[in-house]
Amino acid sequence: MNLLPETQERLNFLVRVVSKEIKHLDYADSQAFGASLTLERVEKLEQDPALALTLEAFTSRFCRLQDTLGDKLLPALLNALGESANALLINLNKAEKYGWLDSAEEWISLRQLRNKMIHEYIEEAVILHSALATAHQKVEVMKVFAENLMLQVQQLQE
């Protein structure tokens, strides 16, 4: 496909950013979950600033990759394919239709983890622990989606 230079530049930039974000998320994930992250450790988070910082890094990088994929790379890729970029759910449904994403609904549920990891932790260690454990289990879902999008960008440029 013959892409405009600015479209090609934007897609290449976003692919580089996503690649770096995956690398940083992998590192944060290994740091946060290398040792068992128990509910007891999360309940004592205020007394463990190192763990709090590690979990903050994981949460931040998880959310950042989600934002870059759903709010930037996916719409840019859809535009490059001649699709109009729409609201996130519509774009995710298109990604599912193209086979880049297994489930738009699962992606939306991953986005809902944000509030649990960022806002609810102030009062509810159980909610935070559950959200962190779920996010840890779903890192691979985000990485597969990212890889599918990056592969599609590469194929567009061949």
Give me the residue spans of the domains in the chain.
Answer: 5-156
Triad 158, 139, 63: Cα angle to 5°: 90
What is the CB-side half-sphere exposure of residue 111 using CA atoms within 13 A?
Answer: 15
Region of 82 on the Ramachandran plot (φ > 0 left; ψ -120 to 50 alpha; else beta): left
Q: What is the pLDDT of residue 3?
A: 85
Q: How far apart are CA 117 and CA 45, in angstroms?
A: 13
pTM value?
0.92
Q: What is the pLDDT of residue 84?
A: 85
Helix (H, G, I), strand (E, B) or coil at 158: coil
Residues 24-27: contacts with CB under 8 Å, at least 24 apart = 24/61, 25/58, 25/61, 25/62, 25/64, 25/65, 25/139, 25/142, 26/139
pLDDT in tens, the chain (158 residues): 678 889 999 999 999 999 999 999 999 999 999 878 999 999 999 999 999 999 999 999 999 999 999 999 999 999 999 998 799 999 999 999 999 999 999 999 998 888 888 875 667 899 899 999 999 999 999 999 999 999 999 999 88
Q: How far apart are CA 81 and CA 27, in angstroms?
A: 33
Contact 55, 32 (CB under 8 A): yes
| Position 76, amino acid | A
Q: What is the pLDDT of residue 123?
A: 76
Provide the angle, in degrees to the nearest 10, between the axes of the packed helices 49-67 and 104-118: 150
